[in-house]
Amino acid sequence: MDMYNEISASCKKTVAELKNMPWKKCVIDVMLPTMAGHQNNRWRIADPFMKFMARYAKEVVMEDFRVGINLLEIAMQRLSNGAVLHEAASWPEPLEKEYWSYSSRWDEPGLMSEGCYQFIVSGLPVCLQYNETRGHALKILFGLISHLDADGNIKSNYLLPDEFKREGAFLYGFAKTQIEKNAKMEEVYRHYAQPEEWKKHKSWFAEHAKEMNWKEFFSKIRVKGFFNKRRIKKEILALAA
């Protein structure tokens, strides 16, 4: 099933009718109201939209770049509204004003859903490819690794539904891989060199040991004492051997 067939299945229009519309009109008049839910009749962006975007993230951008970027941002704003805790991102901007009614800024927060999970795995890698969506995608990914660890343990302030708790280790590994593949070193360092984070990322620091300012590093992770610093540096450098 292609994306037109999926939109058709959600409304009363045929595939032929949808394809005869300009794509932007199809999105604004048909797809968003029926799959995401209009601001006047939803609690939050609905899962059919999130699952659609997980499947067709690349295709919607290829169909029309500006429309596609707005659709990716709508999906990420849903993630930011309760599915993933992370540092603040702007909303309803950077959505263009004609899409503001689909911003999650005014919606009820919602925990991780199946559609959210699918979009994280399949949609965020697409978001990372474009300057317009890259920053928001990285904030979401950094949020995942700061609230999870490699074993899938969850910070107490992060509410993850039971059906996704078993995916904690996968989500952590996925986010870490995407971050280290797509973020600049200084972006990674800023998030990893934190008092509650650095121990999870010793291997990364080992890989970049030659580029590190150790005095600054110890200041950022709030470690004091000559012997403590020497022990930590030795542990990290041992991983680089």
Does pLDDT of 219 surpass 70?
yes
Does pLDDT of 169 surpass 70?
yes
Give residue 241's pLDDT. 66
> pTM (2 decimals)?
0.95
pLDDT in tens, 183-207: 999 999 999 999 999 999 999 999 9
pLDDT in tens, 94-132: 999 999 999 999 999 999 999 999 999 999 999 999 999
Give the C-alpha separation, 55 to 226, whole Å: 52
Does pLDDT of 1 surpass 70?
no
- How sure is the predictor about 12, in pLDDT bands with cuts at 50, 70 and 90? confident
- How sure is the predictor about 173, in pLDDT bands with cuts at 50, 70 and 90? very high
**Segment 208-213 mean pLDDT:** 92
State how far the alpha carbon of 150 is from the alpha carbons of 24, 39, 55, 81, 241, in Å: 41, 38, 27, 24, 22
Give the C-alpha separation, 75 to 133, whole Å: 11
Give the C-alpha separation, 80 to 135, whole Å: 13
Give the C-alpha separation, 94 to 141, whole Å: 19
- How sure is the predictor about 240, in pLDDT bands with cuts at 50, 70 and 90? confident
- Among candidates 40, 49, 45, which has minimal Cα distance to 11? 49
Q: What percent of the chain has pLDDT over 70?
A: 99
Give residue 156's pLDDT. 83
For residue 125, count other CB atoms closer than 10 A to its CB.
Answer: 18
pLDDT in tens, 41-87: 899 999 999 999 999 999 999 999 999 999 999 999 999 999 999 99
What number of helices (H) and strands (E) belong to the chain? Answer: 14, 0
State how far the alpha carbon of 25 is from the alpha carbons of 28, 33, 95, 145, in Å: 5, 12, 17, 38
Give the C-alpha separation, 62 to 67, whole Å: 10
